[in-house]
Amino acid sequence: MDNNHETEPLDKINNDQSKARHEEESEKHRKTIGRFRIALFAAGIVILLLLIIVIVVGVTKKYEKIEPCSSGQRVDLSEPLVPSIFHDLTSKEVKGMMDFLFKQKDLNLTRPEKMSVKSSYIFSAELHLPNKRDAISYLDRGSGQRPSREARVIIFRGDLLIPKIMEIIVTPLPNPTHYTTWIDDIPFQYRPVTGPDYGGALVSITTKTNEKARQLLLESFGGTLVDCGDTCLTYKYISPMSAAVSGRKERLYWYWMSQFVEFYILHPIDFAVLVNMDDPNYAIEKVWYNEHTFDSLDSLVKQYNENKLQKKPILFPVMSENLFSTLYRRGTEVPKTNQRAPISIEPDGKRYSVQGQHVTYMNWDFDFRMSSTRGPQLYDIRFMDERIVYELALQEVSVFYSGYKPTQMFSNYFDSTALIGPQDKGLVPGVDCPSHATFTDALHVMESSTKPIIYKNAFCIFEINTGMPLRRHHSFSSFHGTMYEGLPNSVLILRSILSVVNYSYLLDVILYQTGAIEVKVVSTGYILATPFTSNAPNFGVHVSDNINGNLHHHMFSYKVDLDIEGTHNRYRTLDISTTASANRFNPDPNAKIIQGQFVISEKKTEKEAAYKFNFDTPKYHLFYSNLKSNKFGVPKSYRLFNRGMSKQLLPSGKGNEPAMAWMRYQMAVTKHSDRERTSSTIYSGLDALDPVVNFQKFLDNNDTIVDEDLVAWVSMGVQHIPHTEDLPVTHTPGMDLSFFLLPYNYFPEDPAMGSRDSMRIEPNVYNNPKSGVRVTGFNNEDLQCKPPSNSYKEMVEADPGILFETAEGQSTSI
């Protein structure tokens, strides 16, 4: 018993020790396994990181090995030493012209820094084209003397006892020796508002209004003109009253008042003054306040202080409280994630070339320039080396408004009075034009400088796939013969965008591979608003708390000088109508079949060729040479097809209508004359009583147009009744207008049949798809090069002058 009792504790001790050792060894084992697992996990992470690094490095190296995409054909935008006869004035020519003009004592010219209304100064200068016959002789035959380069200079002669405007031709450039008079004795009252005019009037009326009506403005509109902090009011926008509507041969302008915010035109207040611009003190002749007219500021303030007026304060909210006029992003954001929009690229570089202001694209080539007075111009447009158009040029942009208040009642604008060309600048890559476009600058000579002023990015040139086939056909059934053939529609576009105060106009000339030309205009920008009134509901729409959007009519004039197989052309219409004839396949002997037909109508005089659209008499408009026909004896022609027609509703001869007589017709055809160069002028805003260029007189000559050098004057327009979706800015859908020049029996077949862009899919065995198919012309879209990046953001941040007026001046002077 005792022995057993002695061994039991020993066994227990041994067992406890053994168990302890086992647990200790197990703990060590677990720790070892844990450390191993941690090491294994760490190793896995390291391996994964190394793998990621290898992949990134590999991809990066692979990407680095991808070469930049080819630049394609040559683009040289440098100023040529010997400019073509269509090239804008060069800086060398401007310097030579200025040196010459300031030496002419009879012109008595004042330099820009000292100019005033009563001085003689240069308003503008630009290229003056040679006579067409001389230009054609030089271009086509290479014979004869190269036409001299010349400049057309507009001079305001306020220094004379009887002031006037004169236009002279300075020649030859770059080293002129003389000038000749182009137009003399233009009434001084016809001149547009100039820097000295506008600035002088603005200072004068601001001072007078602030001195006499400061408290009235503060109580009525919550702001003042000076010392106003963040509640400033301002005079900026103006409306001309020509003698034709005022009954007075004086330059009268309504100056509107508005809040000085972004964008002030959408923040008008019901206050305006009529200013006599011919008065040296810029007399205020009428005042408009809260829908009433007063003879003077004194009369208004007196009645206001005597409580004889119904006071209707309209305290416009400040910008932070009312963002309807701003373009800051707001509303529901789309897309839901930050995905970038599609972009266009040139995988093999540019398929067009630019040399100065000459462009070559596939079968096309042409010259272009930017006229200071009239805007974008194209010359010598050729397809397959044959001239189709000698001159394709914007002439005028007009907008006529309607309204109850004088500010809109008299708002009949001719944009050439503000000089159209300088309004085109600052095109933005990636928005205004594809980022791969070629951007060119424009040179202008204006009153503010004797040196040429360069506006950056005035034109863009680009080729783009429109996303619409140029042609295609698919025959699915063997009954018709199985096949597919299509050609993507890649076009070349020359684009400019005018920003004339509140409106922007996109102006395109589009060249198709078929030999067709499209001229397109699209309107966007801010509407011209007036303070809301319930007195005239038929003039405008209530679009925001305190403003109306008023009815207005946009109108555009283009000159199209066609040369179809030379300069001896004719104009005919194919008049479409219906005809009834006996139905020989009906047992009823009196049965008739009625169907369409066309009748050729040759136009022999200019009056016969003045066209007003009539839905009852549809027509084809054809220009052709009677000397050149195709093998079927049909004249080789071009068709002018206007899809932007609009009728001007104002009666002929009333108000400012005579200054835009070109809008009486959707198209007019005249015999070319070097004295009938434009349909409008910079004086049109004020010269309606006796227009400097009276377009109607072009037609009243009634010259024969048979076998003559013909010019088509094309007008387009769109009526716009604003709506709430026009805020903050009118969008482009539905605002586009266009006309086409289309080959009509000019080629034996579609000239785009030779395009390498086409694709054809057909069975290996004719009409048997089971034999397999072959695809020809398919372009693999796997890009093996890096397209150029859009660096505009960095460029404009480094040089804001690309887009905005800088403190030093309007743009770049050279």
Among all residues, which ones are annotated catalytic? 415, 503
DSSP letters of 207-233? HHHHHHHHHHHHHHHS-BSSS-TTSBE
Alpha carbons within 13 angstroms on the beta-carbon side of residue 87 total 28
Q: Kindly write down the DSSP assignment for every residue of 377-391, as one continuous string.
A: EEEEEEETTEEEEEE
For residue 147, give the 3-state DSSP assignment: coil
The DSSP result for 580-592, as a single string, is EEE-TTSSSTT-E
Query: Dihedrals φ, ψ of 91, to 5°?
Result: -60, -35
Q: Is the Cα torsion angle 470, 476, 478, 480 positive or negative in sign?
A: negative
Task: Kindly state the tokens that stand for 78.
Answer: 């440098």
C-alpha–C-alpha distance, residues 76 and 69, integer Å: 18
341 and 384 in contact (C-beta within 8 Å)?
Answer: no
CA–CA distances in Å: residue 634 to residues 151, 353, 746: 43, 35, 9
600 contacts 572 by C-beta, under 8 angstroms: yes
Structural tokens at position 545? 């708390």
Q: Which two three-digit tokens encode residue 499? A: 């920003």
Q: Which residues pair with 167 in a beta bridge?
A: 154, 183
Cβ atoms of 542 and 524 within 8 Å: the answer is no
User: CA angle, corner 604, sides to 602 and 610, nearest 5?
Assistant: 90
What's the CA gap between 202 and 255, in Å, rounded?
9
Give the DSSP letter of residue 789: P
Tell me the three state secondary structure of residue 3: helix
Angstrom distance (rounded) from CA 666 to CA 645? 6
Q: Tell me, what DSSP letter sits at residue 189?
A: G
- N-to-C CA span, the chain: 126
What does the alpha-carbon distance between residue 523 and residue 515 come to, in Å, rounded to a whole number? Answer: 26
Residue whose token pair is 């680009």: 462
Q: Pull the structure tokens for residue 563.
A: 């040369």
Question: Which two tokens mark 729?
Answer: 């800015």
Cα angle for residues 218, 207, 121 (degrees, 5° grid) = 140
Whether residue 716 contacts residue 556, with contact meaning beta carbons closer than 8 Å, is answered with yes
